[in-house]
Amino acid sequence: MATKAKDREELSFTVIDAIAHKHNVQPGAVIPALQEIQDAYGYIPPAAIERIAENIGVPASEIYGIVTFYSQFRMEPAGENLIKVCHGTACHLNGAERIAQVIAQATGAEEGETSRDGKFTVERVACLGCCSLAPCTMINNEVHGRLTPESINKTVSQVQEVQELAPTK
């Protein structure tokens, strides 16, 4: 478990402890605390599960059970851009599968995967609630609606281009 040990060293426990204390270290606040950890790190690092468990005084397995139960939580880092492909009823009827196919081609990542270059993580979601604009997807918290295979292809390549042009941090 060498990687885990490394993980523990690299993580700033002060951040996690601060989040835990903000929520009064109560078992009832586990989910909001995990949500904040995911906001801070982009995912739930395994070491964070152990630390939160220590803070609250419950077994890590219990926290792990919560993290894996809710689809919001991710246990691996996401790519630079997060694409959520809506598969709601209206989107399904209006060709969501075809949109998903184009996104897979354009990014190189199937649903549930991160592209090799780390640029995109593609997720399948049940419904974004923008059914009147079906089919739709959410790219980095912005919803794009009334998609066609061509328009989503263009949007994805625009996201790619913008980032290639931008100076690297």
Partner 1 sequence: MSWERDKGNGSWVVKVGLASCGIAAGGQRVYDALKAGIIARGLKDNVEVRRTGCMGMCYSEVLVEVFPPLGRRVFYRNVTPEQIQRIIEEHIIGGNPVTEWIIPADEIDNLLSKQRRIVLRNCGIIDPESIDDCLASDGYKALDKVLHSMSPQVVIDEVTRSGLRGRGGAGFPTGIKWGFARKSPGSQKYVICNADEGDPGAFMDRSVLESDPHTVIEGMLIAGYAIGASEGYIYVRAEYPLAIHRLEIALDQARERGLIGESILDCDFDFNISIRQGAGAFVCGEETALMASIEGKRGMPNFRPPFPAQSGLWGKPTNINNVETLANVSWIILNGANAYNALGTEKSKGTKVFALAGKIAHGGLIEVPMGISLKEIVFDIGGGTSEGLDFKAVQMGGPSGGVIPASMADTPVDYDSITKTGAIMGSGGLIVMDESACMVDVAKFFLNFTQDESCGKCTFCRIGTLRMREVLDRITKGEGKEEDIEHLEELAQGVKKASLCGLGQTAPNPVLTTLRYFRDEYEAHIQEKICPAKKCEALITYEIIPEKCPGCGLCAKYCPVEAISGEKKKPHLIDPDRCIRCGLCMSVCRLGAISVH
Contact footprint for partner 1 (CB under 8 A): 26-32, 34-35, 65-66, 69-73, 87-90, 92-95, 97-98, 101-102, 104-105, 125-134, 136, 141-146, 148-150, 153
Cβ distance to partner 1 smaller for residue 8 or 40: 40
How many helices (H) and strands (E) are present in the chain, helices listed first?
Answer: 8, 5
Cβ distance to partner 1 smaller for residue 141 or 168: 141
Tokens of 103: 């996104």
Tokens of 7: 């993980």
> Smallest distance from the beta carbon of 35 to partner 1, in angstroms?
6
Q: How many residues does this entry show for the chain?
A: 169
Cβ distance to partner 1 smaller for residue 5 or 93: 93
The residues, any chain, with a CB within 8 Å of residue 144's CB and separated by 6 or more, are 136, 137, 138, 151, 152, 155
Cβ distance to partner 1 smaller for residue 12 or 89: 89
> Smallest distance from the beta carbon of 2 to partner 1, in angstroms?
30
- Separation of CA 135 from chain center: 20
List the beta strands (DSSP E) in 98-167: 113-114, 120-125, 137-139, 142-144
- The two beta strands, 120-125 and 113-114, are antiparallel
Cβ distance to partner 1 smaller for residue 45 or 88: 88
